[in-house]
């Protein structure tokens, strides 16, 4: 998949009021924005056209745009996010996404965060988590299967989202937590297994055969280097404080 565009949203001053389970302190709003700007610069450097939406102070998690939609070449699904405080975020994302794709909107009986949706070619692996339920996966599957996609549900025991612990990093390889290694869904891929203390770095983003990875995770970096792809490290200290990572801050297509 070659990406040409990304949609992002500027973090609001209210960022520290968002949802988090991290217990590693409150993020600094200005440093969050700086880390966000660095991220956007990396996307621009990789040749993507980036649409950055204005901050939404009433939605302190709204710069985690990945959770509000799932983009694919044929269509986009506008999700019904699992956390009640985040549901309003889709109202301002939907019109922007619909400039680029035909959109299908999930019903309010179903729940899904885009952070649970891992797309590898024509396969979707979708985490069953506190944010994404079976009804969400059923509605999603009904919308995409006619375009030849397969959908596999994955029970996620720990971590916020599936992509908190499993991501595709190119070259038929997934990076994943120790706990996910034996999952049959990932047996067909080469595997880079995260050290327990570096699990956060599993949220590495593969864009146009370049890897963007959080800085400060030396064991993961060493393992990623074996793929032979260009790697860009960037600091996500403030993003992490709100359970966010690199995939969360953009919709790529």
Binding mask 144-173 for ligand CIR (x = CB under 6 A): ----------------xx------------
| 102 catalytic residue (yes or no) | no
The residue from 168, 243, 250, 253 that contacts ligand CIR (CB under 6 A) is: 243
Local structure of residue 24 (DSSP, 8 states): S
Residue with the CB atom nearest ligand CIR in the bound state: 115
DSSP 136-174: HHHHHHHHHGGGT-EEEEEE--SSSSGGGTEEE-STTEE
Q: Is 214 in the site for ligand CIR (CB under 6 A)?
A: no
Q: What does the alpha-carbon distance between residue 49 and residue 250 come to, in Å, rounded to a whole number?
A: 12
| Bridge pairing between strands 76-78 and 103-105 | parallel
Q: Least distance to ligand CIR from the beta carbon of 1, Å?
A: 18
Beta pairing partners, 124: 119, 151
Q: What does the alpha-carbon distance between residue 123 and residue 149 come to, in Å, rounded to a whole number?
A: 6
Residue (22 or 51) nearer to ligand CIR, CB: 22
Q: Least distance to ligand CIR from the beta carbon of 86, Å?
A: 6
| 80 catalytic residue (yes or no) | no
From the list 63, 80, 111, 248, the catalytic residue is 248
The residue from 244, 250, 252, 253 that contacts ligand CIR (CB under 6 A) is: 244
Q: Least distance to ligand CIR from the beta carbon of 12, Å?
A: 12
The residue from 27, 115, 159, 202 that contacts ligand CIR (CB under 6 A) is: 115
- Beta-carbon contacts of residue 175 (< 8 Å; ≥ 6 apart): 166, 167, 169, 191, 192, 194, 201, 202, 204, 220, 223, 224
Q: Is 56 in the site for ligand CIR (CB under 6 A)?
A: no
Q: What does the alpha-carbon distance between residue 172 and residue 129 come to, in Å, rounded to a whole number?
A: 25
Q: Least distance to ligand CIR from the beta carbon of 148, Å?
A: 25
User: How is residue 34 written in tokens?
Assistant: 């700086």
The residue from 18, 136, 159, 214 that contacts ligand CIR (CB under 6 A) is: 18
The residue from 245, 250, 251, 253 that contacts ligand CIR (CB under 6 A) is: 245
In the three-class reduction of DSSP (H, G, I as helix; E, B as strand; rest coil), residue 245 is classed as coil
Nearest one of 52, 147, 128 to 138, comparing CA atoms = 128
Binding mask 58-87 for ligand CIR (x = CB under 6 A): ---x--x-xx---------------x--x-
3-state helix, strand, coil in the chain (%, to 5): 35, 25, 40
Q: Least distance to ligand CIR from the beta carbon of 11, Å?
A: 11
- For the chain, the residue count is 253
Give the catalytic positions in this structure: 161, 248
Binding site for ligand CIR (CB under 6 A): 18-20, 61, 64, 66-67, 83, 86, 115, 160-161, 242-245, 247-248
């Amino acid at each position: 998949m070659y990406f040409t565009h990304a949609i992002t949203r500027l973090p609001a001053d209210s960022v520290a009021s968002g949802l988090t389970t991290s217990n590693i302190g409150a993020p600094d709003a200005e440093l969050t924005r700086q880390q966000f700007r660095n991220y956007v610069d990396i996307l621009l450097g990789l040749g993507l056209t980036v649409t950055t939406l204005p901050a939404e102070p009433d939605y302190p998690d709204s710069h985690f745009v990945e959770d509000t939609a799932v983009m694919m070449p044929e269509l986009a699904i506008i999700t019904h996010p699992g956390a009640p405080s985040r549901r309003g975020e889709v109202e301002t994302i939907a019109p922007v996404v619909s400039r680029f794709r035909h959109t299908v909107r999930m019903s309010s009986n179903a729940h899904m965060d885009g952070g649970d949706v891992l797309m590898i070619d024509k396969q979707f692996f979708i985490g069953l988590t506190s944010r994404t339920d079976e009804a969400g996966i059923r509605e999603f599957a009904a919308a995409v299967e006619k375009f030849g996609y397969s959908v596999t549900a994955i029970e996620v025991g720990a971590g916020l989202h599936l992509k908190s612990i499993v991501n595709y990093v190119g070259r038929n390889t997934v990076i994943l937590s120790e706990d996910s290694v034996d999952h049959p869904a990932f047996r067909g891929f080469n595997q880079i297994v995260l050290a327990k203390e570096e699990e956060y770095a599993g949220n590495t983003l593969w864009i146009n055969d370049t890897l963007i990875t959080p800085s400060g995770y030396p064991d993961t970096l060493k393992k990623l280097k074996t793929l032979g792809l260009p790697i860009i490290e960037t600091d996500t200290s403030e993003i992490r404080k709100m359970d966010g990572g690199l995939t969360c801050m953009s919709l790529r297509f």
